[in-house]
Amino acid sequence: MSAPSAPSRHCAEQFINRELSLLQFQRRVLAQAADESVPLLERLRFLCIVSSNLDEFFEIRVAGIREQIRLGSHAAGSDGIPPAELLPRVSAEVQRILEEQYRLLNDVVLPALEAEGVVFLKRGLWDEAQSAWIHGYFQREVMPVLTPIGLDPAHPFPRVYNKSLNFAVELEGRDAFGRDSNAAIVQAPRVLPRIIRLPDAPGQAPYTFVFLSSVLHAHVDELFAGMHVRGCYQFRVTRNSDFFFDEEEVKDLRAKLKGELQQRHFGDAVRLEVADNCSEEMAEFLLQQFRLNPADLYCMPGIVNLVRMNQVPEWVDRPDLKYRSFRPGLPRPLDRRRDLFEVLRKQDVLLHHPFQSFAPVIELLKASADDPQVVAIRMTVYRTGTDSVLMEHLVRAARNGKEVTVVLELMARFDEEANISWATRLEEAGAHVVYGVFGYKVHAKLLMLVRREGDALRRYVHMGTGNYHPGTTRFYTDFGLMTANEEIGADVAEVFKQITGLGRASTLTHLWQAPFSLQPNVVAAIRNETEIARAGRRARVVAKINALLEPETIEALYEASQAGVEIDLIVRGPCALRPGVKGLSENIRVRSLVGRFLEHHRILYFHADGAERIYLSSADWMQRNFFRRIEIAFPVLDPRLKRRVMKEGLRYYLADNVQAWEMQPNGGYKRRTPRGKPRAAQMMLLADLRADPPRVD
C-alpha cells in the first residue's frame, strides 16, 4: 500500500486565519475572568489584559489590514481571505468579545467586588460629603490642567493622542465673544489619574473609587460658563503604531527612530471607542474627523479604557482576593551560596521561570562586572524595561574596563524609547552598542562572558526563551540554560560575530539560527519523524510555542500526521493549522493553556528513533521569526536536564485538564474538564519548584 500523498501546497481550506485565531485567544483570556475559581481581583486583571491585548491588536494587526485595503491589495494569506473580507469579520468578532467582556465587568465582577468592599461609585450614588470632596478635587486637581477647545473656524478639531481619554461636549448658547459653537473637545491630560480613591469616611466601603470620567461629567458645565451642556461623551481613538523604514533611506537608525516615535502617537486612526450614551450625531461627527467608517465604531457600556483598572489590584490590600504569593526556588546546584563560575565548569544549570528565580542570571552578570578575570561581555537585549538591574551591571562593567558589546534591538515594539535611552547610557560608559542587522530584528536571548582562567580564555553562556527583563520573569513561563560547554560557547560567539561584523554565515555545531538554519532544521526534523513512521517505527513530535503560522512547517506537520507520526502541539496564541481533520491531520492534537502566568517558553521535542532530541528556542513558528528575525534554538544536552524539560515543560502541560483548551478543526476551542483528579500544569510546577512549601489552610 502506497503512502498517502502530501497535501497540496497552500490550500486555503487547510489554514485558519491569523487574526481570527488571535481573537480566539482573547476569548480564552476572557474565560479566566468568568472563572469563579480565579481570585476576584485577578478576574478584574484578566478583563484588563483583554483590553490591553485588543489595543495592540488594533494598533498592529488591524492597522496592517487597513493599510492593505488602502493600497488596493487583494492578496490573501494562506487562509485565502482577502483584506476587504477579513476586516468586517474581525470587527464583528471584536464586537462579540466586547459584549461579553463588559457583561462580565458590569454584571459579575464589579458587583462581586462591591460585596467585598471594593466599590466604583457612580455619580448618582454620591452622598453629600462625597460630592463635596469630589467637587473640591475637581477644582484643585482637574480644572487647572484642562484646556477645553471649542470647535469653530478658528479652533479646528485638535490632534488626539493615541489611546488617550477625551470628551466630546455638545453645547447650546453663545459664549463671551458671541460665538455660537455647538461642540467642544476636552482632552484629559496624561498627568491626571483615571481612577481616584476617595478618602476613608464612616459608613463608606473600605476601598471606594470614582472614575475621572465621572468627575469630569459631573462638573463639565463649569468649563463652559453661561452655556448649556446638552451632552458629554467619553471617546478614545486607537492609531496605527507600526513603523515602516526604507533601508536605503535610513543612515542612522537611532536618529530616525527617535524622530518617528512621537509621530506614532498620531498615526492613522483605526478604531473609535465611545461611551454607549454618545449621541448618533456626535458619533458620526467623530467618525468623520478620524476618517473612519461606522464599522470602526465601538460603543462601550462603561469606561472606554479598561486597561487603567489594572492598577486597582495593586492598590487594594486584600491578599484573599489575589493569587497567593510565592518565593521562586533555585535549582539544586545553586541552592547554596556557591561560585557560579565553579558550578558551571562542572555542570549545566537549567532555570524554569517564574517558578524558579531569575536571580542567578542577575548574579552572573553582576559577578562578571566586578570580576577582574572577566575580560569581555556580549549580550543581546530585546526587552529589558526602563529600570533594569541587568543594564546597570552592563554599564558598570563597561566603566570597569570590560570589553562590553550589547546588541540592542531598537525596533522592539513599544519598548523603542527605553532601548534608545539605554543605548545612550551604555555608549557613554564606553560599551559598544550595535543595533543588529537592518531588516532583521534581533530576538535571540544570548549572554556570553569571556573569562581568563590560567593561560586560557573560557566562555560562559546563558541562553533563554524569554527576555532579559526581571519584571516579566515573574509572570512569564520561560526556560534559561547556563553552560560552559565549549562547543555551544563557540556557536554563540559565532552568532555575535555575524551580528556585529560582516561575513558569510558559517555552520554552527549545535545551535539552529534564523534566518539561516532554524526553519530548515525544524522542517527536516519533522520530515525525519515522517520517514521513521513510514518505516513502521515509533515517531513523535511535541512542540510548545506561542504561535504556529508558517505554511511550510504546517504542511510538513500535515504530511507527518498522514504518515502516522503522533503530534502534540501546545500553542498559546494563534494557530493556522487545523487539527483532527480526517485524511489530513487526525494524528495532530492542538491545545492552548491560559492561567495565572503567561505561557511563553518554546520547546521542541523529536523522538528521533529514541534519541529524544530537545531544543529550547526564542522563536515561534511564524514567517517573521523564521525569516525576518535573528533567533536561536539550542539543544538541552545534559540527560538530567532533558528529563526536567520533558517533565516540566511537556508532560505536565499535556496532562493538564484544568487550564487546557483543545482546538477543534474549525478553529474554535473547547475547555478540558477534569475526569478524575484535576491537574493544572502551572500549579504542579509551583508545588515542585517554588522555594516556600505550600501553605496548609
Q: What values do phi and psi take at 460, rounded to 5?
A: -120, 135
Q: Which residues of 224-261 are buried (b: 16+ CB within 10 A; e: fewer)?
A: beebebebbbbbbbbbbbebeeeeeeeeebbebbeeee
Which cell goes with 620? 515561534
Q: Which residues of 82-97 are buried (b: 16+ CB within 10 A; e: fewer)?
A: ebeebbeebbebbeeb
Tell me which DSSP letter residue 659 carries: S
Residues 6+ away with beta carbon under 8 Å from 451: 341, 368, 371, 373, 374, 375, 457, 458, 459, 460
Question: What is the rounded distance in angstroms from the CA atom of residue 645 to the CA atom of residue 184?
Answer: 59
Residues 6+ away with beta carbon under 8 Å from 190: 161, 164
Which cell goes with 166? 477625551
User: Is position 601 annotated as part of the catalytic site?
Assistant: no
Question: CA torsion, points 83, 85, 86, 87, in degrees to nearest 10?
Answer: 90
For cell 513599544, the residue is 414
Question: What is the rounded distance in angstroms from the CA atom of residue 70 to the CA atom of residue 291?
Answer: 12
Please identify which of the residues 353, 443, 462, 469 carries the catalytic annotation. Answer: 443
615 burial via Cβ count (<10 Å: 0-12, 13-18, 19+) = buried
Radius of gyration of the chain (CA): 27
CB 680 within 8 A of CB 658: yes
Closest to 276 (Cα-Cα) out of 28, 158, 106, 26: 106
CB 182 within 8 A of CB 229: no
Closest to 549 (Cα-Cα) out of 40, 78, 33: 78
DSSP symbols for 377-446: EEEEES---SS-HHHHHHHHHHHTT-EEEEEE-TT-TT-HHHHHHHHHHHHHHT-EEE--BTTBEE---E
| Bridge partner list, 167 | 186, 234
Closest to 38 (Cα-Cα) out of 23, 49, 52, 53: 49
Which cell goes with 257? 527612530
Q: What values do phi and psi take at 374, rounded to 5?
A: -80, 120
Which residues are known to be catalytic? 443
